[in-house]
Chains A and B, each alone.
Chain A
Amino acid sequence: MGELREHWVNLRTASPSHLRVRLVALAASVVFALCLVAAGGGGPTVWIGTVVLGALVVAQPAGVMPAFFLVWAIAAWWAAVPGPWHWALLPAAWSLLLVHASAALAASVPPQATVPRSVLTRYAARVGVVAAAVTLVWGLAALAAAGGSGSAGVGPVPSIIGLAVLAAALLGYVRLRRRHTAPDAR
């Protein structure tokens, strides 16, 4: 209860610039919900849930809430949109980037402090660079989808690669945990 009150107090006393940074996450979550609508996926529950989680990211940018939002959003897309490609993928990916960047910046600075303009400019420029790279990926995905049967022609290779990556990820995660929980971890 005390932690919830701290979040509420932080939100109420946040500087206007910090609040604007947080609100970017909410705006991006609304954009993602609209992308879902445009792609014809999900229903009101999913759309409203996306926006509500976006609001929770605004309230708690430093905790696990942004991770919940990302998992929810991608899972909702996977479950609700038939795929493999839709034009709304691009704004959806951009909005995920904005949610992440907004939460990361908001968590990096004290809520009551004014966020300097130079920091905002730097983040905006970087988001622009990554957004451009994402556009490239989106274009490649469009070409792959337009190429016909997508990855069906290459047989089970993508699935094998996927499972290998998953196994490597689990191994890497275990090693990372062990390194950070070791007594002499710095």
Chain B
Amino acid sequence: MAAFERADAWRPTHALQRCLVAVLTIAPVALVFRRPDLLVLVSPLALVLAWSLATRPQERPDHRFGLSHGQVREGDQALAVADLEPVEGAEVLSAALTPAPFVRAVLRERMRQARDSDDQLVQRTCTVADADGPQVQGYRRLLVGVRVTRWGVRRIGPLQVAAAGAWGSYRWGPLSMDAQALRVLPQPAAFDTSAPAPHPRGLVGMHRSSRPGEGSEFATIRPFQVGDRLRRIHWPRSSRTGELHVTSSYADQDTHVAVLVDAHYDLGRSGGLDGDVSSLDRSVRAAAAVAEHFLHQGDRVSLRVLSARTPLVVPTGTGRRHGVRILDTLSGVQASVDEQTDPRRVHLGIGSGTLVVMISSLVSPDALTQAATLAARGTSVVVVDALGEAVARVAPSGERDALARTAWRIRMLERDREIRAIRAQGVAVVPWLGPGSLDVVLLELARRRRRVGA
């Protein structure tokens, strides 16, 4: 508290003290020893001292801190906005953000990379402004540009603000202001699929139904029936036959896609959007991509996160706002293993006809158990292996320990066996490869359904 009070006041700096000491020691010496040259040498410091004392700031600047955005996407930029009141006598205002993980400074000048005494990369998250610049509501605005490189709730700050008087002789601050939370939505990985959903059942969407109805895809030309729309009359055929004919189409349907994210473990070290990717990074970004893709097609999408710490659920919905809601929920995912709950007894609330896309690193057997349980009920399940080809790159925690390495290799062998076993039960397991990852599986599921229907 005392430190805060000391900071929240205008205090003399080393610059003022050295002027004072120099003047008060050199001037008497010059007079005593009759050396006017020493008086000339000390005269600039005397003038600076007089100037500083005459313009000493008295009022404490009012200050506040906020962020330009409430939420951004991974890799996007945001601004930390510090508002400082330019009180009389304050000339130079400055603000500096405390470095935080996955928060990078937006550089305006070239800077060398260097590490501080804590072995952290030095970030240029600070700014300086002249107090005499343009004001916003009576405050001088200081902007610190930051780029957030990983999804989640990121702490921006604490922010330190300070002000200096004339000749840097008095300083107010640095005063710390509490950190602000910035929600960072995952950047969906590149994903696209041209394969149809296996169980379209809804009324609107982009999947072609096998039944005729209101849609965009041509089915046939048939005789006019009561209730047909006049704009569907096919005039060439009608004039040839002398009887009214209309064009009919297949109905367009949507489906329910349930995205399950296995967040029991986060393997590997995340380096943000431009660096290494952890297994949870891949899972979350893949889930975002799958959800965005199916929502864009007009399908209904729900989300469920399997994690002891963040068991998040987003009910079925559609549209852009629902997509943002899913991304917002994904940004809150935290890895945590749940060893208390039997995965076979968990009710996921997934009905028949739902396409389940489970995204998992498949390290925890729970996810595989749940996938097998769902498949046994006749639900179409596609398991996306988020670890995929990254298995070799993802190092276990004790990578330098030979025993840990061996244990990791044994676990990977077990994992391969579990994947083979679940495939044998009819659950498709595909590695996450971005665009087209699910095409083969979805085509196969659709074919299987048609065979069953026939």
CB of A133 closer than 8 Å to a CB of B: yes
- Among B109-117, B190-198, B300-308, the stretch that binds chain A is B109-117
Given the complex, which residues of B lie within 8 Å of A6, measured CB to CB?
116-117
Alpha-carbon gap, A141 to B41, bound state (A)? 11
- Among B120-128, B310-318, B331-339, B371-379, the stretch that binds chain A is B120-128
Given the complex, which residues of B lie within 8 Å of A86, measured CB to CB?
37
Alpha-carbon gap, A137 to B32, bound state (A)? 19
CB of A67 closer than 8 Å to a CB of B: yes
* In the complex, chain B residues 210-249 whose Cβ is within 8 Å of any chain A Cβ: none
A93 touches B41 (CB 8 A): yes
B92 touches A109 (CB 8 A): yes
B115 touches A9 (CB 8 A): yes
| Chain A min CB distance to B26 (Å) | 6
CB of A161 closer than 8 Å to a CB of B: yes
Given the complex, which residues of A lie within 8 Å of B96, measured CB to CB?
110, 112-113
Q: What per-residue 1/0 map shows which CB atoms of B9-40 lie under 8 Å from chain A?
A: 10001110111111011111111111111111
A74 touches B109 (CB 8 A): no
Choice from B19, B32, B44, B128 contacting A109 with Cβ under 8 Å: B128
Given the complex, which residues of A lie within 8 Å of B129, measured CB to CB?
116
Number of B residues with CB within 8 Å of any CB on chain A: 67
* In the complex, chain B residues 37-73 whose Cβ is within 8 Å of any chain A Cβ: 37-45, 47-48, 51
CB of A100 closer than 8 Å to a CB of B: yes
A141 touches B39 (CB 8 A): yes
Given the complex, which residues of B lie within 8 Å of A113, measured CB to CB?
94, 96, 124, 126-128
Choice from A115, A133, A163 contacting B28 with Cβ under 8 Å: A163
CB of B349 closer than 8 Å to a CB of A: no
A165 touches B43 (CB 8 A): no
Given the complex, which residues of A lie within 8 Å of B24, measured CB to CB?
165-166, 169-170, 172-173
Can you list 13 A-B contacts with CB-CB less than 8 angstroms, sorted by A residue number?
A6-B116, A16-B110, A74-B41, A97-B48, A100-B48, A113-B126, A122-B91, A138-B40, A141-B39, A144-B36, A161-B31, A165-B31, A173-B21
Given contacts A100-B18, A173-B24, 11 further A-B contacts (CB under 8 A): A15-B109, A66-B15, A83-B35, A84-B34, A96-B41, A100-B44, A104-B169, A109-B92, A119-B130, A141-B40, A151-B34
